[in-house]
A = this chain, B = another copy of it.
Amino acid sequence: MNILAMPSFVSSTAKRRSPARLQPEAVVEALKRHMHVNERRVRSGQHVYQSGQPFHSIYLLRAGSVKTCELAEDGRDQITGFWMRGDLLGVGAIGLNGYPSEATALEDSTLWQLQYSPVLAACLRVPELQMRLTAALAESIRRNRSWMLSIGTLSAEQRVAAFLLDLAHRHGRLGFSQRQFTLRMRRADIASFLALTHETVSRALSHLGRSGLIEIRRHEVTLLDSEALRRLAGARPVLH
């Protein structure tokens, strides 16, 4: 789903890349050339959109970070993703009248608001944009499948390890440190995302810390031995 640096996965498919990679920034340029873009700033804790709100726009996250949460009528909810620069939000609402989920800023963030009908129009005129949007949707599907694989096959601690590696990787792609970063979300959010309880996540993090694989203090993480983390998470070492 990341327009600026696709693709990234928790596992497996990282190698099979697009034949014709598009320059990410070029696409961003193209977007601005072909349609009006409204910049929107959202403060930490505020909603980008809420469940049920009429759907008009998708959002390109330009700075900050955002979580998305799926809500059931009976009150159950589930974090469905954590997003950073370059990620596209609200695409799950395409084809519906309203957003089926909500998006909340995890820190002060800025987004480009892209009204969906102009996007469609632009896609018709600019094949590259269409390809890009479609590819972004497909990547989002792969990301989900990869998550399903993790949840279905890994233990609690393995999931937490995989989660940290995923965050690290996405951080790295955006030019930030792959070793050290801030967990912008609460333990309970991680827990929901990983289909665990917040206590279990806390224990897993503590245990990874005691084992010397990571250092964690509150929201600051350092991956001390990402090789071991990868082994733990069941992935073959990534060579590149």
Contacts and interface: CB of A to CB of B under 8 A. Distances in A.
Contact of A145 (B98, B144, B146, B192): B144
A91 to B, nearest CB: 6
A124 B130 contact: yes
A148 B80 contact: yes
Contact of A236 (B74, B138, B145, B146): B74
A161 B120 CA distance: 38
Nearest to A194: B152
A16 B100 contact: yes
A70 B7 CA distance: 17
Contacts of A195: 148, 151-152, 195
B234 A7 contact: no
Contacts of A149: 70, 72, 76-78, 80
Contacts of A13: 96, 100
A143 to B, nearest CB: 9
Contact of A146 (B70, B139, B141, B147): B70
Contacts of A211: none
A188 interface: no
Contacts of A193: 152
Q: Which of A97, A98, A142, A152 gathers most chain B CB within 10 Å?
A: A152
A234 B74 contact: yes
Given A19-B97, A72-B149, A141 B141 contact: yes
Given A144-B144, A151-B195, A12 B71 contact: yes
A199 to B, nearest CB: 15
A70 B138 contact: no
Interface string A95-106: 111101100000
Interface string A191-226: 011010000000000000000000000000000000
Interface of A: 6-7, 11-13, 16-19, 52, 70-74, 76-78, 80, 91-98, 100-101, 120, 123-124, 127, 130-131, 133-135, 137-142, 144-149, 151-154, 192-193, 195, 234-236
13 contacts: A16-B98, A18-B95, A70-B148, A80-B148, A91-B141, A93-B138, A94-B135, A95-B134, A100-B142, A123-B130, A124-B130, A137-B138, A152-B195
